[in-house]
A and B are shown apart, each in its own frame.
Chain A
Amino acid sequence: MQSARHSVHVAGELRDLIPRFLANRRVEVEQLRDAIARSDRDAARRIGHGLKGVGGGYGFDEISRIGGEIERSARAGGDELAALAALARELADYLDGVEIIYTT
């Protein structure tokens, strides 16, 4: 069994929201991969922008960081699709490995 690489402390009041929060982020990983496949940088930018804005509020600062990187890479233009693909993988790995500790 793979051990969690990241532990995140989340306020107990958000416990009921977390399953939907994580499910939505997994959907966004797939949407990001689709956008990369279509070379749709604007769609990738919007996904990154949303991730950057939402992650930290729940306590997932790493999601905000990855989202910011996605937004920057998508804006940069040029041959950034490989970098975006790597960030999509990084986000998927993070979601698979994150351990949540609820605080009261």
Chain B
Amino acid sequence: MTRQFPASIFLATLLWVMALVVAAQAAVPMDPLLRGLLDKAAGDGSAAISYEKLVATEKGPQGELRVGVILRLDGGLPDLADVPGLVVGSVCGDIATARLPLTSLTVLAGRDDLRAIEAANLAYPTMDVAIPSAHVDQVWAGTPAFTGANVIVAVIDTGIDFSHEDFDDADGSTRILNIWDLNGTGTPPSGFSYGAEWSSAQIDAGTATERDYNGHGSHVTGMAAGDGSASGGQYRGVAYEADIIFAKAYDDQNGGFSADRTIDAMNYLASKQQQYGRPMVINMSLGGHMGPHDGSGAQEEVVDNLTAQGITLCIAAGNEGEDYVTAHGPAAGTDLVFRVVPYTANAGADNDLALVAAWVDGATSPTVTVSLGGTATEAVPSGQAMGFNSALGYIVIDNASGGTDPRNGDKQILVQLDDRQGTDLSDGDWTIRIQGGSGEVHAWKIFSTMTTGFPGSDQTYSVGIPGTAQGAVTLGAEKTRQSWPSIEGTASYGTGNSWGDAAEGDLAPFSSVGPTRDGRQKPDLTAPGMAIVSVRSTSIDPPPPGSLQVAGGDYWVSQGTSMATPFTTGVVALMLEKNGDLTPAQIKTILRESAATDAFTGTTWNPRWGAGKVDAAAALAAIGGTTGPDGDIDADGGPTVLDVVLLVNHIVDPVGHPLSSEARAAADVYPAPAGNGLLDAADLVRIVAFILGTDAPGKSAALPASTDAPLVKLGAPVPDGQGWSIPVTLSGAGVAAAQFALDLEEGQWAEDAVRVEAAGTVSVAAHARGGRQHVLVYDLDNDLPDQLTIHLPCTESALARPAGLLLVDGAGIALEAAWTSPMPRGFVSVWPNPVGAGAQVRFLAPAAGPWNLAVYDLRGRRVRSLDQGSLAVERTLDWAGNDDAGHRLADGVYLMRLETAGQVLVKKVLLAR
């Protein structure tokens, strides 16, 4: 048998030798960037710079890395035929361009008829004004550079032209991980019952039938994550190396987004985030005004739910900043003037209408009257809905017919004017009179088939739903350019109108104005949103005018807070690439606090600009670097209390608070300096010592000498002043820095924290989450006694038998524990594991008493109840990998958990189909 020498090792060795040869024997001076590329390819760990982001590279026909070079000639272009794979691009005077395999660089460098070899530096686009205006280019060119790699940009929109080159990798495969067309026909996503989902493989195979007939979604996605391939990088999106997941919630038939579909799309994306386990930011460039505008609506609640799950959502503020869609006044007595501009009525009945919704304080019951000219309806009392047929058209007044909305205690008033009875709706200034209420009445135009509005509007409260959601990052738009190069020549906004007359740098006139109805600060900030060049869907029907098309038709120009939103979504992706642990709240705070202010924006939050203009470089800088000293987990310059918090959160909840690889490296400080590959309480001790300044030379010897796990003995539950507690006795060298977790059902824990019985300076951090109690023990002064007893409070003695204790060491491996009272042991087994189409589950409940068998996900949620009973039993049953609803669970790790009166047995199960 011949033993194969691994090709990768061989290649790395070869390149390393070549690099040495080049360094030692190069006859021609060579650009350090090219040498860096050679070093990096040779596997030299010192080459930490991302040279491939600075030097033009491409993949050759055999997949080999080719590099772009500029040759300084010495009296003309010599014959370079002996340089394998070299292709000359052009020659101009003493300068020539060429591309060649990286492996040929050594040959080229050995020549004596060239003056120098320089790298063809990668130039980043400067023609697109928005990118440099928000300093995104600085982030791309920084060290390290951030481009959105390993982050998922998720978009809910009208569709995506997945065939566009800007959404492909360099090798032509798609960067889109999944598409769900909610109105499509095909295989729905796991956990959903309608629409059609495609994977990246199916997209590459050409089986996806989704299309973007509107063009909005492709443009938006290109802004956030297109890589600009079709323009040589000129119209590159902000996070151009992010992966993409797209949910087409738009209904091409009715021309809008139905809120239930966008809710389903949000839930779909949340499930995808769990599936992929990567940072995600969601873009929603959509909105409307039907709803309370105070964050209490269902769609806003879903936004907040996703935010609570750690997903940041960027949502457009809306484009009603100059559209007179809002009105407000005292509900005690106010006339809201609603203008119907003269229009040409549609032929027939029931096809012209205008709908207004208003919200008032629910404590009182105002009446509503609608009038035009000298004619008025009767006053409709609160709690009733009435229709009035008149010569002016048909008028419906629904004055809070359902009473107060229990979610906010307010009342909703609807007024609809239409032609349902065949009488054309009259134009003119209609008056909606509110009388007898309290507080403020706020009204919005919801929809009309003709031009309508509130002529007296001050435009405030025009931020749309779901941009009003508490957790959303809500974007207004600014103007960064007046003109652009179109295929018909230079096009512009012209002059004599608000868009054209707005100065570059000023607010886009259409940008919706805050605050929310309940007075919260929206929008949060602004981003470029006028004359934005991005991807054009080839399915747009009809195609946009030539003045809007750019660069051969691959791109087009659009504007709106729809564009400001994906710009910021891209910035968030860059932030998440730098630190995937940032919470949505942290991201929003950073974006707002790092926003640029100027003479246009003012220096404080205001309802037009929010906190100012998004500044990518400042936002990334606010996160801190990634190469701080030991213990500097958040890379803000040194170990701080925040680093301790981050590490504790990670130790007690590594699923919910995962650390990036850089943060893990910074956190793994025990034993110093290289770390031991684990993040555990010993690391925590040392970081705290750093902060307290006790980590002087010699002092570290006082830290635990080893990470040996402590010996653990569990006592039987004993009554105490609060109920019951389980005594846990720890001894041994590892006591000074220990960590463990204890599983019990929610509700079985007493509210009190763990109680430690030990002398000396002992710190304990305890954290309960989803029925699991996490405990960290650390002793900064190393004066801990050999033995430590911790009492874990529980509510019942019988259910808190110590057999359920799961002790986890620094590697997350269960520790052996000695029981003070032997328990009969049950078991649970799953075969096969990993589970494909299905598995057999065999288990033993060893004693009489309530028991149940269920499947949990890693977030502690029960996803499938399999069996339960009260008698001792050994049983085998089949499980198809489904949840309680019969839907197939997503692939991943689950926990098969057998809980009996005296013990909890957990078996890890991997679903892989």
- The reply to whether chain A is a binding partner of chain B is no
